[in-house]
């Protein structure tokens, strides 16, 4: 079956289908590759991100619906209301694979509806329905009502009230395999774009059969099965402890952002660590080693219960813990988990929110460590009050209102949980990614390399880090376009594997250079859109305090010449 793109005019409620035949420019563009191409081709770069000219594209990857491990992610793309540039945020959960089974590669939401609507996808059709009864609902209540109405096994993308109120830090939720709205395309305020279209939710009824075609299934399995087995064996520890396991290590390395990036180590890191979380999960009979999407074999996710055994949150991740724990000096893991739940419910990015609160505390609007006040603010976001608007529109919005001197962002997006003065390759990714400060664009975490045997220098020295970030960003763009979770590894050897599975699935004859060029062309497209939107290479830079103020305790600053960031993407032309 040929995959299709469904263009949904939400105003007229009309649907047009576009087949992705072998001669289509989208044939080898999935997920991020497809969302970025549609934004580049069809969204006027200077348009209002919340206006009718912007488009919201929801796409699965080239390997979606196949048994390739961890290939069930969705990319969401649009012009971002937060960065004003191109944005792709990807998310796990059920729905990506369900779209693929329906023969759908992407949904393109066009224009604006003046009333709140829901998009329903079933075996035969796509339709829109008025849904004002769901207006103002948090994601948890919404998902529960949708499951009651349409069945337990549906896939859902949705927004919380933050998206309806067009808050620039609003996220799009996807339901996980346990049924919770815990997976979020968080970054860049894409929930506000969905809200601006008037769409509260997209509901996918399970397909009666899969329409995914793998041309050479034998070859495909020969390549993907041993890889899946290798992931299971090598990621055992990661599977048990998940990303929160990084909290203590990052603090020891001096790179855990603490107290609005004033420190890189937190003396109470143990209280919010992966080890602490693990103890709680075991004691309260929560769940570890949970897959967030159907083909995941790594299973790094979790379900967290409160002390009374009730569900508190799911998919509780390192980035949420840094942003709302060490960054705010909140040392109670239950409080941080509750913040995660409230963010998921209101539909707000946990990273952007935590970084925003860090600036609020740094400017004495809220006391350090005051979790109760943070809960209150999240309730205000859910209500859409004036106070909620102040905190729900991203760190730059609040920082500018407060005339704050230290606003940790790049291109308008809050910096995530890796102190850039310490982790040099991550700093390059934050500075140069077309997506703003986004670790997922090229996550140079401690110990990660891109090419085996290549010398990228020590973690905290500049040597080799421009190269490392560049290679990781290209490889990650390719994984994003496959719909793969980057925890499978953005490495050269995995690019060789991807080349093989693409050839088997799509009956093409690519070599690794062809695949690398797909990634490079996607990045070029994103950079070209940004240039036209006014997000230039001059903006590849940190706020000055990262160069002027030494990190604590390692006394490091950003030392790359500004020109290195500005000229970074010239590598794409070499
Ligand atoms: S490894 Fe973790 S984030 Fe990646 S798909 Fe699996 S559960 Fe989701």
| Among 301, 482, 490, residue to substitute to test ligand 1 (most atoms within 8 Å of Cβ) | 301
As to burial, measured by CB atoms within 10 angstroms (0-12 exposed, 13-18 middle, 19+ buried), residue 151 is exposed
Separation of CA 244 and ligand 1 centre (Å)? 13
Cβ atoms of residues 141 and 149 within 8 Å:
no
pLDDT one-digit tens code per residue, 522-559: 999 999 999 999 999 999 999 999 999 999 999 999 99
pLDDT one-digit tens code per residue, 483-493: 999 999 999 99
Alpha-carbon span 61 to 42, nearest angstrom = 20
Q: What are phi and psi for residue 267, nearest 5 degrees?
A: -65, -15
Separation of CA 293 and ligand 1 centre (Å)? 7
Alpha-carbon span 328 to 338, nearest angstrom = 14
At 244 the pLDDT is 96
User: Can you tell me the mean pLDDT for 280-306?
Assistant: 95
At 107 the pLDDT is 98
Instruction: Give ligand 1 pocket residues (Cβ under 6 A).
Output: 70, 92, 291-293, 296, 298-301, 485, 487
With a pLDDT cut of 70, the percent of the chain lying above it is 100
- Atom from ligand 1 closest to the CA of residue 298: 1
Sheet holding 14-19: strands in order across? 14-19, 4-9, 104-110, 56-60, 74-79, 86-91
Cβ atoms of residues 394 and 168 within 8 Å:
yes
User: Can you tell me the mean pLDDT for 126-143?
Assistant: 98
Model confidence at 1: pLDDT above 80: no
At 447 the pLDDT is 85
Neighbours of 451 (CB within 10 A): 14
pLDDT one-digit tens code per residue, 373-418: 999 999 999 999 999 999 999 999 999 999 999 999 999 999 999 9
Cβ atoms of residues 289 and 315 within 8 Å:
no
Confidence of residue 446 (pLDDT cuts 50, 70, 90): confident
Separation of CA 181 and ligand 1 centre (Å)? 15
Separation of CA 290 and ligand 1 centre (Å)? 8
């Amino acid at each position: 079956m040929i995959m299709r793109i469904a263009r949904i005019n939400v105003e007229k409620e009309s649907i047009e289908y576009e087949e992705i035949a072998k001669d289509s420019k989208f044939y080898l563009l999935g997920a991020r590759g497809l969302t970025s191409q549609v934004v580049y081709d069809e969204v006027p770069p200077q348009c209002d991100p919340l206006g009718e000219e912007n488009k919201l594209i929801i796409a699965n990857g080239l390997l979606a619906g196949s048994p390739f491990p961890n290939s069930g992610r969705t990319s969401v793309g649009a012009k971002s209301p937060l960065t004003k540039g191109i944005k792709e945020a990807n998310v796990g959960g059920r729905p990506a694979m369900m779209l693929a089974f329906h023969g759908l590669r992407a949904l393109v939401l066009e224009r604006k509806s003046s009333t709140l609507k829901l998009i329903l996808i079933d075996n035969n059709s796509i339709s829109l329905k008025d849904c004002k009864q769901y207006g103002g609902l948090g994601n948890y209540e919404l998902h529960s009502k949708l499951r009651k109405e349409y069945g337990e096994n549906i896939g859902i993308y949705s927004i919380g009230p933050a998206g309806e109120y067009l808050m620039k830090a609003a996220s799009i939720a996807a339901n996980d395999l346990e049924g919770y709205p815990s997976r979020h395309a968080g970054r860049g305020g894409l929930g506000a774009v969905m809200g601006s279209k008037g769409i509260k939710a997209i509901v996918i009824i399970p397909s009666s059969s899969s329409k995914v075609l793998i041309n050479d299934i034998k070859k495909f399995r020969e390549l993907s099965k041993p890889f899946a087995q290798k992931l299971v064996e090598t990621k055992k520890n990661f599977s048990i402890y998940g990303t929160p396991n990084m909290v203590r290590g990052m603090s020891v390395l001096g790179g855990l952002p603490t107290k609005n990036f004033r420190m890189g180590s937190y003396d109470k890191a143990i209280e919010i660590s992966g080890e602490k979380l693990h103890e709680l999960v075991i004691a309260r009979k929560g769940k570890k080693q949970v897959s967030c999407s159907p083909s995941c074999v790594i299973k790094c996710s979790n379900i967290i219960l409160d002390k009374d055994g009730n569900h508190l949150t799911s998919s509780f991740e390192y980035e949420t813990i840094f942003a709302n724990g060490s960054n705010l000096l909140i040392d109670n893991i239950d409080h941080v988990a509750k913040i995660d739940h409230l963010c998921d419910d209101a539909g707000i990015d946990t990273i952007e929110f935590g970084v925003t609160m860090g600036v609020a505390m740094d400017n004495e609007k809220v006391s350090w460590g005051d979790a109760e006040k943070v809960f209150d603010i999240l309730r205000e976001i859910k209500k859409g009050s004036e106070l909620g608007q102040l905190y729900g529109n991203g760190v730059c919005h609040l920082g500018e209102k407060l005339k704050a001197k230290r606003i940790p962002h790049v291109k308008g997006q809050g910096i995530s949980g890796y102190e850039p003065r310490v982790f040099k390759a991550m700093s390059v990714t934050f500075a140069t990614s077309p997506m703003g400060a986004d670790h997922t664009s090229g996550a140079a975490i401690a110990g990660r390399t891109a090419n085996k045997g290549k010398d990228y220098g020590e973690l905290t020295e500049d040597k080799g880090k421009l190269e490392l970030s560049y290679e990781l960003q290209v490889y990650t763009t390719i994984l994003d376009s496959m719909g793969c979770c980057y925890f499978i590894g953005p490495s050269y050897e995995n690019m060789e594997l991807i080349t093989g599975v693409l050839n088997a699935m799509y009956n093409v004859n690519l070599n690794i250079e062809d695949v690398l060029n797909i990634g490079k062309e996607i990045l070029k497209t994103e950079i070209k859109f940004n240039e036209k939107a006014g997000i230039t290479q001059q903006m590849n830079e940190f706020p000055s305090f990262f160069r002027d103020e030494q990190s604590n305790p390692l006394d490091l600053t950003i030392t790359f010449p500004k020109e290195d960031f500005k000229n970074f993407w010239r590598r794409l032309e070499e």
